[in-house]
Structure 1
Amino acid sequence: MRGTHESTASTEGADPDWRPLPPRARGLMALNGALQLAIPGAVLGFVLGNVLASGLDLPMAWSGRVTGVVLPLLAAAGLGAWLGLRRHRHTHWRHDAQGLALRRGRLWWRETRVPATRVQHLDVTRGPLQRSRDLATLVVHTAGTQHSTLKLANLDAGDAERLRDALGRQIDHDDDA
């Protein structure tokens, strides 16, 4: 059964126009997911440990408090890493004559399209971990006030620069028309 699920999921973005994130982005996506859930997991563990200890009228030694924080922290970080890997697997992008499209998720599937005519300006950012893996984030600023920025993180650095240049040429072409 798992083999069927794996092959179905890997062909989800198999449309040749839709491109996945590069495999070397997997580690950063897992790290990001782990960090997003680790701190809330530790806080939740601390609070629940103290509530249970006081509710059951148990003396809670420091080792119990540490265990009450560390175990939920590790569990939440593991869950976050797994979710980050799933996020990597189910993120695809496409650039065509109409503009840029981003497809994310599986259970909560979302497709965002940015028409080239709505693009105001473009940024490429690269943090230290992204630079070490030759990755970048393309930031597309659009006309409008609500949801006016699209961030496509952990793209191949060359793809991010090519997308920036191509969308920039489309902006210049639209301005000349």
Structure 2
Amino acid sequence: MTQSPPDPPGTPATGPAADQFLDWQALPARARLLFLLANAPPLAFACALGGSLLAKLGAVLLDADGAGGLPMVLVGAALGLLIGGGLGGMLGHKQFRHTYWRLDPEGLAVRRGRMWLRETRVPVTRVQHLDLKRGPLQRRRGLATLVVHTAGTRNSSVVVPNIDFDDAQFLRDRLGRQIDLDHDD
């Protein structure tokens, strides 16, 4: 009986070692920054705009001739940036910490959230095709986004964001092989 040589370090597991993905898998730590960047700047901008508008409204209501309104608008925008950036950073951190995925013999599952837990399950028989997306920041950090397109119209794709690139390739290949096996029957 011949044994196949072990996989080199860093390659995704195949065969019996693929059982490592039966448990829920957390995102790699290097994905945290991408979640922060996805949430903090837009929320900071929105809060800065809202803060400056509220400050302008306050300046108009407090000062009938409008003098001294610009400093209040700048202070409102600065406070909005700080508050919005902080809230966006907290939201991104929470999204990162509470996003998990797993692969089992029936298919792929993605779990998001803590208070409002949302678990999406994709049976292998419903997978139509798979895409890997890698933006510049993802490539730099060795990450990828796996998009699983499914049969049906509602929620017809499931996204697993910012997972390890090797894991994303493994999932794509494994689910793709399952699709081929199902079509051969």
Q: Which residue of 2 aligns with 1:125?
A: 133
| Percent of matched pairs sharing the same residue | 54
| Greater displacement, 49-58 / 127-136 | 49-58
| Cα distance in 2 for residues equivalent to 1:107 and 1:36 | 23
TM-score, structure 1 as length reference: 0.87
Q: Which moved more, 1:27-36 or 1:142-151?
A: 27-36
The alignment covers a number of residue pairs equal to 163
Q: TM-score, normalised by structure 2?
A: 0.83
Please list, as runs of the form range in 1=range in 2, the aligned pairs for 1:53-72 lying within 5 A after superposition.
Answer: 53-57=59-63, 59-72=67-80
Relative to structure 2, which stretch is displaced further, 43-52 or 96-105? 43-52
Aligned-residue offset at 1:36: 3.1
**Letter matched to residue 35 of structure 2:** M
Structure 2: stretches of 5+ with no match in the other structure: 1-20
Residue 146 of structure 1 and its aligned partner are, at CA, apart by: 1.3
Q: How does 1:32-111 map to 2 (within 5 A)?
A: 32-57=38-63, 59-111=67-119
Task: Find the aligned partners of 1:64 and 1:171 in 2 and give their Cα distance.
Answer: 61
Q: Is the 8 A contact 2:44 2:84 kept in 1?
A: yes
2:33 counterpart (23, 27, 30) = 27
Instruction: Give the CA deviation at 1:16.
Output: 6.4
The residue aligned with 1:10 is none
After superposition, the Cα gap between the structure-2 partners of 1:53 and 1:43, relative to the gap in structure 1 and judged at 3 Å, is same
Deviations 1:37-84 (A, max 9, x none): 122112211221111111222633433222211211221111111111
Distance in structure 2 (CA, Å) of the matches to 1:155 and 1:50 = 44
* Structure 1 residue 151 corresponds to structure 2 residue 159: yes
Point out the structure with max Rg over C-alpha: 2
